[in-house]
Chains A and B, each alone.
Chain A
Amino acid sequence: AQTVTQSQPEMSVQEAETVTLSCTYDTSENNYYLFWYKQPPSRQMILVIRQEAYKQQNATENRFSVNFQKAAKSFSLKISDSQLGDTAMYFCAFKGRGTTSGTYKYIFGTGTRLKVLA
């Protein structure tokens, strides 16, 4: 079964600094997708960045980038130039065909609460 582990329950970073959130996962599949979602206090889930496992190049979205290490099954998120609006829960998620039905489903990590300090 697939699992997603986020070992940092809480983190803080000074405004304008850089922070890295860690995520590891376990799967026997070769083709899958990885995501980072942000959940601000409003609780609306927002997609931050996605990575296809078959792509070696790390995904980048403006201030957000990932370090995808497929062999190590690691998928960390780096936030550069942190802003107060980045304060939120961040969830790492795995998308694969883990079920016998072959339907894709998502598995979420336990989340990291990030606080950006002024």
Chain B
Amino acid sequence: GAVVSQHPSRVICKSGTSVKIECRSLDFQATTMFWYRQFPKQSLMLMATSNEGSKATYEQGVEKDKFLINHASLTLSTLTVTSAHPEDSSFYICSALAGAPYEQYFGPGTRLTVT
């Protein structure tokens, strides 16, 4: 149990366009999901905490108007990178909290390349 999916796994987009990444909890409901960014050979950096039915909480330095997060249901959170630029190219990972003791389960990640 506790499977989290992400779609797409890889995406290439042109500079200036927007791209949406979906994070789904497949077999459980998640009131809280997290979005991370991972640069090559580096650690996971928390971007924002997504709570179902409310606004996301962004970490310091993360532009909320650039990285739009919507957690409209208990099984789906989306991250939209707006007006993407090459420096937004990265590996984006979502996770969802499941049940007591509220373990964090990770999606497989999405590799975004902005050309």
Binding site for B on A (CB under 8 A): 33, 37, 42-47, 50, 91, 95, 99, 101, 103-111
Q: Are B34 and A42 interface neighbours, CB within 8 A?
A: no
- Beyond A91-B44, A110-B43, whether A105 also contacts B106 by CB under 8 A is no
Main secondary structure on B side of the interface with A: strand
Q: Are A106 and B46 interface neighbours, CB within 8 A?
A: yes
Q: Does B93 contact A (CB under 8 A)?
A: yes
Instruction: Please give me the 4 A-B residue pairs with the lowest Cβ-Cβ distance, nearest first.
Output: A45-B106, A108-B43, A108-B44, A110-B43
Q: How large is the interface on B (under 10, 10 to 19, 20 to 34, 35 or more residues)?
A: 20 to 34
Tally A-B pairs: CB < 8 A.
44
Contacts of A104 in B (CB 8 A): 102
Q: Are A103 and B57 interface neighbours, CB within 8 A?
A: yes
- Beyond A44-B109, A91-B44, A111-B43, whether A106 also contacts B34 by CB under 8 A is yes
Contacts of A105 in B (CB 8 A): 34, 46, 49
Q: How far is the CA of A104 from the CA of B57 in the complex (A)?
A: 12
- Beyond A43-B91, A47-B103, A109-B43, whether A103 also contacts B109 by CB under 8 A is no
Q: How far is the CA of A118 from the CA of B90 in the complex (A)?
A: 32
Q: How far is the CA of A109 from the CA of B45 in the complex (A)?
A: 10
Q: Are B49 and A103 interface neighbours, CB within 8 A?
A: yes
